[in-house]
């Protein structure tokens, strides 16, 4: 059996609408808030520029590229009813992940905060970006047979779990690490849509590579292995994206059932 999909083209998934500009405004507002609240960090970064060297030679093109790509992606086919709950899940989930990693020493930030709140807003932005990449991949691979997709799910995500166990093993005595591992195992062994979960995992890892490459090579954050970046960190973005997707689906399902329960209680 094959996933048929619609006759939409890839470019339609990147089409802007009125909501796109609302998301862009929110994105810019978040950046402005970060710069205002954590101005000493921005001032420290600006101080690194040498006035004797042309600005274009000192620009961090990987950082600029990451922001431009994510900006274009989140504006594509924007829909607040879909995007806002997913962004909120990404915000909360990102805070939990950052707390886990920094509290257990798996990674740390140059500011020594555990976790730094200024990095948390990047999670909903990347979550929405990965959602757009998933839609594009799902469209391009719509003719890929379910049998091959299902096999890819069990093999690829299973390999990640083995990699995760190896990477986090030094902190396996920490309760937060045990909880993170159990959550990933639960998600893996209770798939609700293997095609969606596999594609989200792959797109999360794809975007995660560039984010991790920038952060670790600029020493913004550092893993205990000192790799720039570790393979685990790249694919961990994929698993995080899958967990956000699952959490968002569960929350929306619960919210749909909740009004019905209220209605039934009123008639008792």
Digit-by-digit pLDDT tens for the chain (268 residues) are 445 444 667 778 788 888 898 888 888 888 888 888 888 888 888 888 888 889 889 899 999 999 999 999 999 989 999 999 999 999 999 999 999 999 999 999 999 999 999 999 999 999 999 999 999 999 999 999 999 999 999 999 999 999 999 999 999 999 999 999 999 999 999 999 999 999 999 999 999 999 999 999 999 999 999 999 999 999 999 999 999 999 999 998 888 876 655 444 454 4
- Nearest CA-CA partner of 167 in 124, 237, 254, 231: 231
Beta strands in the chain (DSSP E): 107-109, 221-223
The three-class DSSP label of residue 222 is strand
Q: Is 67 exposed, middle or buried (0-12, 13-18, 19+ CB in 10 A)?
A: middle
Residue 221, strand partner residues: 109
Alpha carbon distance 119, 226 (integer Å): 20
User: What angle in degrees, to the nearest 10, is found between the helix axes of 80-104 and 18-37?
Assistant: 30
């Amino acid at each position: 059996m094959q996933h048929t999909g619609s006759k939409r083209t890839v470019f339609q998934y990147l089409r802007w609408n009125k909501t796109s500009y609302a998301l862009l405004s929110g994105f810019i507002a978040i950046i402005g808030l970060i710069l205002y609240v954590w101005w000493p960090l921005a001032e420290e970064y600006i101080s690194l520029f040498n006035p004797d060297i042309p600005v274009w030679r000192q620009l961090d093109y990987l950082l600029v590229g990451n922001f431009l790509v994510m900006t274009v992606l989140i504006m594509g086919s924007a829909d607040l009813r879909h995007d806002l709950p997913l962004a909120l899940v990404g915000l909360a989930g990102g805070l939990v992940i950052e707390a886990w990693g920094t509290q257990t020493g798996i990674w740390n930030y140059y500011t020594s905060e555990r976790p730094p709140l200024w990095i948390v807003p990047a999670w909903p932005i990347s979550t929405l970006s990965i959602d757009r990449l998933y839609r594009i991949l799902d469209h391009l691979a719509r003719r890929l047979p379910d049998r091959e997709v299902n096999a890819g799910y069990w093999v690829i995500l299973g390999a990640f779990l083995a990699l995760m166990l190896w990477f986090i093993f030094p902190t396996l005595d920490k309760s937060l690490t045990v909880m993170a591992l159990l959550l990933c195992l639960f998600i893996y062994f209770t798939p609700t849509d293997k095609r969606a979960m596999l594609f989200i995992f792959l797109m999360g890892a794809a975007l995660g590579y560039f984010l991790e490459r920038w952060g670790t090579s600029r020493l913004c954050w550092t893993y205990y292995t000192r790799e720039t970046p570790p393979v685990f960190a790249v694919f961990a973005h994929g698993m995080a994206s899958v967990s956000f997707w699952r959490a968002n689906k569960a929350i929306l399902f619960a919210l749909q059932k909740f009004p019905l329960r209220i209605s039934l209680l009123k008639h008792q």
